Homo-oligomer: A and B are copies of this chain.
Amino acid sequence: MSEYDDATRLEAGEDPARRHGTFHEEWMIGNAVNGGLVMTTALQALGEHLAADPTETTEHVNPVVLSAYFMTASQPGPFTVTTEIMRCGRRLSTGQMTIHQTGDDGQPVERMRAIGSFGDLADLDVQRQASPPEMPPPEECVSAEQAPPDFLANAKFLERLDLRLDPRTAGWAVGKPSMRGVMRGWLRLRDGREPDTTMLMMALDALPPVAFDLGLFGWTPTLEFTGHVRRRPAPGWLQVSLGSETLGGGMMEEDALIWDSTGNLVAQSRQLCGVRLPR
């Protein structure tokens, strides 16, 4: 079993709306479990709930849109996902996902709450899509393995990925951010597992924060994240492009786009994150 599949594996019990899993230390970034993995796990739970519901349209197997709000940082250890099916429509089936962990005082602490919709992204007829940016091939890009060891020590999550940054947007790693608010790279799972529509939601939040390219190296917690999946990705490398145009009041926006190995746009997102400005 791939380590990604293992990390998002859930146990179902008698309650059809409740599933249990364990966050592993290997998926941490800084002092929290990677938010992308948390979202992917929540989607996994809603997908399983929809698939098990006898009244549900079984064709709605792909996450199409997800809006997630992060309340507290997820920690390694057991968690519970609670799901609620809100509406099964012709085009989309929509539900709510909540992830809890047990706090130090033994009480449940809410980590993330999200609403999202599943649909059928097979055999899509696509009329318009953004084209991928020009980028050198993966072998001419900067591997995350080349990052300073003290950086990698706080980003075990990056070891789960094979990430190659476009050298033109990797200057921040050697103290020379471009100050344009751009980051681009090639991405795939280190364990060789091919991307699917659920994994794309993690890939949208997998690159280093675009804030780094603005010279802002502090912790940039995701406050809200909304991702749209446009198509089922082809096997192979994903091409990820981040940008940001807005920064103010201690918050910034980060936009992400992903193309698959055939050059089709497969996912896009916008997140609002906190940012600490240098004094």
Residues of A within 8 A of B (CB): 64-65, 67, 69, 71-72, 86-87, 89, 91-92, 94, 96, 110, 113-115, 117, 119, 121, 124-130, 181, 214, 223-224, 226, 228, 230-231, 244-253, 265, 268, 270, 272, 274, 277
> How far, in Å, is A174 (CB) from chain B's closest CB?
23
Query: Which 4 pairs show the lowest CB-CB distances between chains A and B?
Result: A67-B67, A126-B248, A124-B249, A128-B247
> How far, in Å, is A66 (CB) from chain B's closest CB?
9
Contact yes or no, B128 A248, CB < 8 A: yes
Query: Which residues of B have CB within 8 Å of A231?
Result: 248-249
Contact yes or no, A226 B126, CB < 8 A: no
> How far, in Å, is A237 (CB) from chain B's closest CB?
21
Contact yes or no, B87 A110, CB < 8 A: yes
Query: Which residues of B have CB within 8 Å of A226?
Result: 67, 224, 226, 270
Contact yes or no, B67 A86, CB < 8 A: no
Contact yes or no, A113 B96, CB < 8 A: yes
Contact yes or no, A248 B230, CB < 8 A: yes
Contact yes or no, A272 B228, CB < 8 A: yes
Contact yes or no, B181 A128, CB < 8 A: yes
Contact yes or no, A251 B64, CB < 8 A: yes
> How far, in Å, is A234 (CB) from chain B's closest CB?
15
CA A181 – CA B128 in complex, angstroms? Answer: 10
Which among B89, B113, B224 is the interface contact of A86 at CB below 8 angstroms? B113
Query: Which residues of B have CB within 8 Å of A129?
Result: 245-248
Known: A96-B113, A115-B113, A117-B69. A124 touches B265 (CB 8 A): no
> How far, in Å, is A65 (CB) from chain B's closest CB?
5
Which among B110, B224, B230, B250 is the interface contact of A65 at CB below 8 angstroms? B224
Query: Which residues of B have CB within 8 Å of A223?
Result: 65, 91-92, 117
Indicate the member of A113, A121, A127, A129 with the most B CB atoms within 10 Å: A127
Query: Which residues of B have CB within 8 Å of A115?
Result: 67, 69, 113-115, 224
Sample of 7 A–B contacts (CB below 8 Å): A71-B89, A113-B115, A126-B249, A127-B277, A128-B181, A130-B246, A253-B268
11 extra interface residue pairs, beta carbon distance < 8 Å, beyond A126-B248, A270-B270: A67-B67, A91-B250, A114-B115, A124-B248, A127-B247, A128-B214, A129-B245, A224-B226, A228-B270, A230-B249, A231-B248
